[in-house]
Each structure stands twice: as C-alpha cells, then as structure tokens.
Amino acid sequence: MFKTSFTLLALAISTATFADEVINKKQLTDAQMERVVVSGSRIFESIDEVPASITIINQQQIEEHLKVNPELQSLLAQMVPGLAPDTGSSSNTGQTLRGRAPLIMIDGVPQSTPLRNGSLGIKSLDPSAIGRIEVIKGATSIYGNGASGGIINYITKQAKSDGKTEGEISLSSRFSAVKLEESAGARLSAAINGRADKFSYLVTASYEENGVQRDAKGDILGLQYGLSDAVTQNYFTKLGYDFDDEKQLQFSYNYFSSQQKTDLGDVVGDMSLGEKTYAIHVPPELQKQGKPQGPEGNENITLKYTDYALFENTQMTLDLYMQDIENVFFFSPNLANQGENYDGGQSIIRSEKKGARATFNTQIDFDSIEASFIYGIDALTDVTSQPLVDGRIWVPEMDMQSVAGFLQTKWVIADDLIVKAGVRKESIDLTVDDYRTLKLCKTPTQCSVPINVKGDTIDYDATTYNIGIKYNLDEKFSPFLSYSQGSDISDIGRLLRAATVNDIGQIQTEASIIDNYEIGFNSQFDNVRIEVAAYRSTSELGTTNKFNEVTGVYEPVRAPQEIWGYETLVDYTISANLKLLATYSYVEGKNTEADVYLGSKQISPPKATANLNWRPSEAMSLTLSYLYVGDRKRFAANDDGKYVGDQGPVESYNIFNLTGQYQFADNWQGFAGIENLFNEDYFPARAQSYTFGGYNIKGLGTTATVGVKYKF
C-alpha cells in the first residue's frame, strides 16, 4: 500500500484523460476510433493530423489475441512494427521500440521505472481492462523522462453512457498440446459498467493460474522470468461524476500482481552448445530460491478533473496520481559474496511516484488556419531503489524531483497542410545520499571492489524541441517529415551500482539528448492502406554494458550511438469478410565512437508479421497470424568459440497462431486459440543472443486455449 502522503500539488492532464472523456461524450464508432490518437500531443486528434508513425491496437484486436495468448508482450510484438519480438517471459528486457526503451503508461500515468529500468513495465495491466493501445514511435519528451524510444499507452475501457448496467464473464483454460501433464491453467475475468444519472462506474477483475509451460519437445520451460505456475491478479476500477455537460471528475484505481510460485528447479544448459535450460521437479533444496519473482501487488491511484469550457475556446484537465511499485527479481548466483556467506541474492526494484499535471488546450480559428495551443505544467516525485531481499543495498535510494513546462502548437492550413511545433523545458533534481557499492563475487577470488561513494544532488536542465510537417495532398499520398528530441536520464541506478569512483559527481550520469528524425507517407486506395516510415536517431551518451574479466561484473559504458531503420505496413481488405494486415520492420544501430554494432539489448533482428481475418458469417470469425524473425549476426566469437554479453547470433524462425470464435447465442460466445500451430522448435531471439546465464530457454510448443464468454 502507499506509504507516504501526497506532497505535490500542480496542474495537469494525462495522455488519455481529456481524449477519453471527449470520446465518451461523442460516442465515436469503432471505425472512427481507429483514426484517433491522443498520446502524441496530449490531446484528442485524428491520426491524419499527426506527422509521425502511430500504431493503434483496437479492442477487437486485443480480444482476438487474448484468445491465443494473454501476455501483452506477445500482442505488442505481433501488432507493432518496430517493436522487438516477444521474449516469451514476464520480462520485456530486450523488447525495445526502434532500438530504445519505450515509456509504458496506463491512461497517461507512467508504469516504467526509468531510474532503474527493470524491464517489467509492459506487464502492468490485464488486457481485459484495456479499450485500446496507442503506440507513438520515436524519442519524445512530451511526458518527460524515460521515453527515448516512444510511448506505449494502455487506454482503459470506459463506462457506457446509455444508463443501463452491462457486464461480461469469461472463463478459459490454457494448456500444452504437446504434453498435457501439469500444463492446464485456468483464467477468469469479469467486468461490469454502467451509469446512474451523473455517476458512471467500471469495474474489471481477472485471476489466472498457469500450469507449467512446455516447449516443442514437451519439456518445461526454464524458470528465469518464467510463466510456469505463475499466478496473476488484476483489479481495476474507474468511477466518474459529471457535474454538468462541461465539468467531470474521474477516479481510477489499479492493482496488479503476477508472481511465479513453483516447486520446480532448473537444469541449466549452455547456449554456445545449443543446450536449453529447462525445469524439472526437484527436492526443496534445489528449487528456485527466494521470494516468488514478479510484480508484488503494484498499485496506481489517479484523480482527474476536466473542464471542457474553462474559458472561451479553452479546455483544462487537472490530474493527480500516486503509484507504488515493487518488482521482485529471480535469485541470482551473480549476487554472491562467499566471504559474507551469501551464495547469491535476489533484488527488488521499489518505486514510489507522486505526480501532478495540467494541460490547457486553446483553439483559435483564423480565415484559413485552425490553430491549437496545448500548454501546461508537469510535476513529479520519483523515489526508486534496488535493495536485495537479504538486506544488502545494491542501488541506493534515488529521489528525483521534476518540474516542467511545455507548449505544443498545431496549425492546420487550408485543411491539407499540418505543421506541429513544440518545446518542453524541464528541471530535474536527483538526490542520492552517501552509499557503498556492493561487493559481488563470481568466484571466491573474482570479486568487485566495493567503494564508498559521496552522495550529492545532481541538477538536470534540458530544453527539447519538436517540429513536424504533414501534407494531406491526396488520400493516395500523404507524406510527413518530423524532428523530435527526448531528454533521458533513465537507468541511473545501473550507473550508481557499478561506480568506480568515490564521488557521485564523477560518475558519468549526464542526461542523454536523443535526436529523432523520421520521414514517411500514408496511402489509402479503395481497399488498401499503406504506411511507410524511415527513421534515424542519435544520442551523444547511450549506455551499453561491457564484461570486466577481473571482477566478473558487467559494467556500463557510455558512448555516442546512432540507430536507424524502416517500417512498412499494408492493410488490405480482400473482400467484405476477408482482411489482411501485414508489417515488416528493420532496425540497426552502432556505437559510433568505437564503430561497433550495438547488441541485442537494444537492436532486434528483422521482423515480419501477418494477420489474416476471415468472417464467414456474422456469428463466426477465424484469424491466422504469422510471425517471422530474421537473422542477425553482427559479432564474432571469442577465441574459445563463445560469444559474450548480448552478442550471440540469431537464426530466423517462423511462428503461426490460429484463433476462432463462435457466437452461438445472443449472450454466449465460445472461443479457441492455438499458439505455435506447427510446433516449431526454436529459441526466441533474446534466448539466442543473450549469453547471460539462464536466458537460453526455448519458445512455447503448441499451446491451446479454450473458453467461453457470457455478456449481460
């Protein structure tokens, strides 16, 4: 539960606050919703007026994928060009967006922990609570720290406005079709919403217990960030009150927990020999040590007030939020110190955020120009640390205080030419007390040297800019060009825990300014929509890791980086009941100082996807999805034939999924899904490229889901 009182008070709006309320008032259709985005500029606007690459995943697409795999990592990898392939685990480490870390948000409230990025932000909400997902690609500072790769914003469902109570209950089971033994799990989700005069309410709940997960040979997948025997709970509430047609108050609460509670133990293989790590039943002394890994009851509380007519042509939303995160990681022998009787350790990332934001949106119409001015103030306190369960401190408490002001303008000239320009001025104070780095020993004689580090308050002041132009010349060709900057101090914790100097002022903790350039176009023909984008992003201070052979510890290296790539999307309506959505994305990057390629923690292999939806009748639909992950072999092996760090070669693989649903009564629907339809025996891209212990885990073998949904 929240442990400290709310200390900030400022003005604000979140990404979806204003837009969701406008959508609720206007009651847009599903088709219209697909043409709407709100995250990029913090206002409700059409995609046609955004000079950047946008991906919108609607509720139907979310529900279809939920029938084959309930994990958001899998859904996003399938639907978002530029996002790295699914990791097949509870962690999204290595699942970057265009080679950089995205900021994960729920209704505009950050879920990531950028000060010590544990890469668990994507899995922070159950898909059954999500109305749509908006993905804005490329570095942006519109929401502050942590969005060097862009924004992934989960927009939660809204209560219906027709007054009557509605609800649904879904029950399903997921199990291995290769070997059923111990693999069957159960999932229950329910939702209710309605409106009573000026009061609206939405409540969703989900509970899921996984069985063991098996690969194509029937073996249980390895446990590191594993999902075997995981128990996941999510409870979400959204309450609203309309004072009148123009003024609204909304309260939301989200609780999410997902932990692996198992009696299994790993049989560790060697990726350099092509050996997988898999799990078996073992005596208690050989089982996975420590607390169950995963989010341990993360909570969000948000309060929003919206006035659609504060002044003439001006709207306002105030937004206060609190968040408490506690993510537990697996027990690792790399956190050993034999001299103090520690044979390993288990870390926890703790983060408490308290934020307040205000956005004002003023609309002015000239003779042939429509102008929008979006401006406001953001304030945030983020206290993050990474202690070990046994009491040792790995990353000391970091107390970040941030205040920012911003102005974003949009000019629609003669209905066809859109010009957007903005600026954000941010001031950050990061305070760290005196601390001592942790002594870690790979072997009794191979240890890091602990250092007493003098703490201090580090000041960051950054002004970032963006400008974009889009010309809606014709439906058949609508080009855009954009430049945007992001200011990023993410993962300071990794730098602090690996300090080699005795003063925090001497650690290379400078903020990284990311410059993002993008050019592309959209084309709409009678039954075909095409999107193409190419991009390049540079930063003077990116962060990678290098193995120290003396201490056995991976240490951060800060050096300039350049990342580039391109993406294509084709949406083809073959006939009234047959539709195809296909994507291809390519990304590459280098440390430009050393002229070497970046590893797979940032750069993913080429990826292609296809989704073919067939609706033979009003009651029935089938979807066949395809994922192709290509080769990436940029690094040479050492003299012993082994690769290091995240530099392992990636071999291509192909995965097919099949889902279907049938409406056999007005209120009843049956559904089924098959993941890895042809039982491909493969290592996911991350498993192939990561040489760190325990990541060499196979992908899921053929796995089936069957269930039923009742609506009332």
Model pTM? 0.90
Q: What pLDDT score was predicted for residue 109?
A: 84
Distance of alpha carbon 696 from alpha carbon 271, whole angstroms: 6
Specify burial of residue 26 (Cβ count, 10 A radius: 0-12, 13-18, 19+).
Answer: exposed
Rounded mean pLDDT of 235-264?
A: 95
Task: State both tokens at 353.
Answer: 């955020």
The residue ranking higher by pLDDT, 24 or 449, is 449
Mean model confidence pLDDT for the chain: 89
Q: pLDDT over 70 for what percent of the chain?
A: 92
Q: What is the DSSP string of 139-153?
A: ---TT-TT-SSEEEE
* Radius of gyration of the CA atoms of the chain, in A: 25
Task: State both tokens at 542.
Answer: 């990116």
Among 295-304, 549-558, 670-679, which stretch is predicted with the lowest mean pLDDT? 549-558
Rounded mean pLDDT of 672-676?
A: 97
User: How do residues 63-78 score in pLDDT, each as one tens digit?
Assistant: 988 889 989 999 999 9
Residue 161, pLDDT above cutoff 60: yes
User: How do residues 471-493 score in pLDDT, each as one tens digit?
Assistant: 998 889 999 999 999 888 878 88
Residue 452, pLDDT above cutoff 50: yes
Q: What pLDDT score was predicted for residue 483?
A: 96
Smallest Cα–Cα separation from 20: which of 360, 199, 248, 194? 248
Residue 322, pLDDT above cutoff 50: yes
Beta bridge partners of 350: 385
Which region holds residue 494: left if phi is over 0, alpha if psi is between -120 and 50, else beta?
alpha
Q: pLDDT over 90 for what percent of the chain?
A: 68
CB 334 within 8 A of CB 346: no
Specify burial of residue 614 (Cβ count, 10 A radius: 0-12, 13-18, 19+).
Answer: middle
CA–CA distances in Å: residue 537 to residues 216, 286, 482:
39, 46, 12
Positive or negative CA dihedral for 222, 223, 225, 226?
Answer: positive
User: How do residues 497-549 score in pLDDT, each as one tens digit?
Assistant: 988 888 888 887 778 889 999 999 999 999 999 999 999 999 988 766 665 65
Rounded mean pLDDT of 250-275?
A: 92
For 22, the 3-state DSSP assignment is helix
Q: What pLDDT score was predicted for residue 39?
A: 59
User: How do residues 570-606 score in pLDDT, each as one tens digit?
Assistant: 999 999 999 999 999 999 999 999 999 999 999 999 9
Rounded mean pLDDT of 406-417?
A: 93
Specify burial of residue 87 (Cβ count, 10 A radius: 0-12, 13-18, 19+).
Answer: buried
Smallest Cα–Cα separation from 383: which of 346, 433, 434, 426? 433
pLDDT band, residue 37 (cuts 50/70/90): low
Half-sphere exposure of 32 (CA within 13 A, CB side): 9
Q: What is the DSSP string of 489-547?
A: -TTHHHHHHT--SSBGGGS--PPEEEEEEEEEEEEE-SSEEEEEEEEEEEEEEEEEEEE
Q: Which domains does the chain have, with CATH numbers?
A: 17-711 (2.40.170.20)
Q: What pLDDT score was predicted for residue 333?
A: 87
For residue 76, count other CB atoms closer than 10 A to its CB. 24
Q: What pLDDT score was predicted for residue 498?
A: 85
Among 89-98, 369-378, 543-552, which stretch is predicted with the lowest mean pLDDT? 543-552
Amino acid of residue 291 = K
What is the DSSP secondary structure assignment for residue 76, as one 8-state letter? H
The residue ranking higher by pLDDT, 488 or 455, is 455
Q: What pLDDT score was predicted for residue 77?
A: 94
Terminal Cα-to-Cα distance of the chain (whole angstroms): 34
CB 685 within 8 A of CB 650: yes
Smallest Cα–Cα separation from 683: which of 699, 667, 672, 663? 699
Among 155-164, 251-260, 276-285, 525-534, which stretch is predicted with the lowest mean pLDDT? 155-164
CB 600 within 8 A of CB 650: yes
Smallest Cα–Cα separation from 226: which of 86, 89, 85? 89
Beta bridge partners of 485: 515
